[in-house]
Amino acid sequence: MGERMSRDELRTLVRATLREALGQGAAEAPKPTAPAKTTSFAERLRADKPIDIAIANDGDLARFARDVAEAASDADLKAVLLSGKARFQLSGAKPAAAPSPPRSGAFHWDKGVLSEAKVTEIARKHVRIVLGPGAVMTPLARDRAREVKIELVRQKS
């Protein structure tokens, strides 16, 4: 099988064909450029370098899966894939965010209304909210506390 055509080259050819078919003349159609030399997935696997993978949609994911399956038909490349020597990285991927500091301790809410937004804010740093005798909690705040797994303790007067 020959080299694959890039999307841009294919689009150029389709546009030229449509112009000809619609009678606008072939002279106006841009001429396709020479295909850029791209390395195949198999060649990149053999290079023993990290392979950048761009997965922005389902089509990209399907293409990657096909490339891996096709490479696995070659015994040497299959061995590379199964050994874990092939290293893949998402191109343009942002580095992982720094881990958030561990939550600890209790936050004391003595009086007033404790809202859902305040529970979310408190949950970033604390594992427990101690509600004083003058504190009131909204139903949404109680639901949010359950979602973010923060313990609620009612302080005796």
The pTM of this model reads 0.38
Q: How confident is the model at residue 117 (pLDDT cuts 50, 70, 90)?
A: very high
Predicted confidence (pLDDT) at residue 29 exceeds the cutoff of 50: no
Contacts of 129 (CB under 8 A, 6+ apart): 106, 107, 108, 109, 114, 119, 122, 145, 150, 151, 152, 153
Which pLDDT tens digit goes with each residue over 82-113? 887 777 777 765 555 666 677 788 999 999 99
Q: Three-class SS of residue 111?
A: strand
Residue 104 to residue 8: CA distance in whole angstroms: 54
Which pLDDT tens digit goes with each residue over 33-64? 554 455 677 888 787 777 777 788 888 888 88
pLDDT value, residue 24: 57
Position of tokens 């359950």? 146
Predicted confidence (pLDDT) at residue 118 exceeds the cutoff of 90: yes
Residue 124 to residue 40: CA distance in whole angstroms: 46
Position of tokens 């450029």? 33
